[in-house]
Amino acid sequence: MSDSPPWIGGVMVGTLLLAAGVLITYTLLPLPGQERLGRGNYLLAAALFAANIALPRLLRRVRRLRRRRAERSR
């Protein structure tokens, strides 16, 4: 069992699906706004994938810092 917040799973799945959706729609059937972005769609998808990886790591680091502060204040 993890001590992660309950919303982290939904955010991770959402960012993963959104990044995949951006790539799929841009390469197969570009939406009207996507054509203006051009190759920026790939940067957007990469940023979403990076957020998918970075968010749990960031939360883990914050939890570690909070635990250390709580142990020091005892």
Per-residue pLDDT tens listing for the chain (74 residues): 467 788 888 999 999 999 999 999 999 988 888 888 888 999 999 999 999 999 989 998 988 998 999 999 87
Distance, in Å, from the CA atom of 20 to the CA atom of 22, rounded to the nearest integer, reads 5
Contact criterion met (CB below 8 Å) for 16 and 51: no
Domain ranges of the chain: 6-72
pLDDT at 22: 94
> What is the model's pLDDT at position 1?
47
